[in-house]
Amino acid sequence: MIIRCIAMDDEPLALKQLSTFIEKTPFLELTASCNSAFNAMEVLNDHQVDLIFADIQMPDLNGLEFSITLDKSIKVIFTTAYAEYALEGFKVDALDYLLKPYGYEEFLKSANKAKAFFDLKEKAETTIEQKDDFLFVKSEYKLVKIKLSDIRYIEGLKDYVKIYVQEVKPILSLLTMKSLEEKLPTEQFMRVHRSFIVNLNSITTIERGNIIFGDLRISVSVKYKEGFDEFIKSRFI
């Protein structure tokens, strides 16, 4: 697969080198070169990105702080001149870190780590198969059949999803929210938050912008509010 990337560094020479290395690597695609976290956020609003090479020492919002704001499907490889930041990087679930100054050989080792991760994720995602009104999901070394009508909502947890169904315990599977969103029928399922997809037919109560499922209140985020409001308007009497 081709991994779509952002290069992020506030130092022009370092950003140029990083961008060149990405463009040089056959399985990477440079989506944008950004000199700040805020610039990268603007790119993410308009483009699908899989991986960000992010400098940690950035003005205003540093790479570590920026990584916490990302959708869980987006992975990060940190670049830094300080080895002590490596541990902090792994605490926020970074795939790897590059210690400056680094050459293409070191860069390629990190890029290959990312490729191995995304190849494994893609392989896991192929285990989901939709057939009419149900789908099969791989969970705990088994293929579990789930009726679409039984799904209440789906919660994203880093590289896993938890599928909440009627009257049985939630099903945990190594999938991404993005892959599920693409597979599920849009007339029945909608993403309302970066961590939640809901079965529109299962919604019984909405209160002040929150979807109520028992004791759980799912907030409809700004990014998805327009689409959700359109759904409500089309069924409002």
Annotated domain spans of the chain? 3-125, 129-234
Query: Rounded mean pLDDT of 165-185?
Result: 87
Give pLDDT, residue 133. 84
- Read off the pLDDT band of 164 (50, 70, 90): very high
Q: What are phi and psi of 144, to 5 degrees?
A: -110, 130
Confirm or reject CATH 2.40.50.1020 for domain 129-234, answering yes or no.
Answer: yes
Residue 86 clears pLDDT 60, i.e. is over it: no
Token pair belonging to 229: 């409001």
Indicate if the pLDDT at residue 154 is higher than 80: yes
Over 60: is that where the pLDDT of 139 sits?
yes
Please check the confidence at residue 142 and state whether its pLDDT lies above 80: yes
pLDDT band at 40 (very low <50, low <70, confident <90, very high): very high
Output the DSSP codes for 100-163.
SS--HHHHHHHHHHHHHHHHHHHHHHTT-EEETTEEEEEETTEEEEEEGGGEEEEEEETTEEEE
**Which numeric CATH code is attached to 3-125?**
3.40.50.2300
pLDDT on residue 136: 87
Counting beta carbons within 10 angstroms of the beta carbon of residue 127, is it exposed (0 to 12), middle (13 to 18) or buried (19 or more)?
middle
Report whether pLDDT(202) > 70: yes
What's the mean pLDDT in 11-34?
A: 96
pLDDT at 128 over 80: no
Cis, bond preceding 101 (omega within 30 deg of 0) = yes
At 178-193, the pLDDT tens digits run 888 888 888 899 999 9
Instruction: Please give the Cα distance from 19 to 135 (Å, whole number).
Output: 40
- Pair of tokens at residue 154: 């789906």
pTM above 0.85, yes or no: no
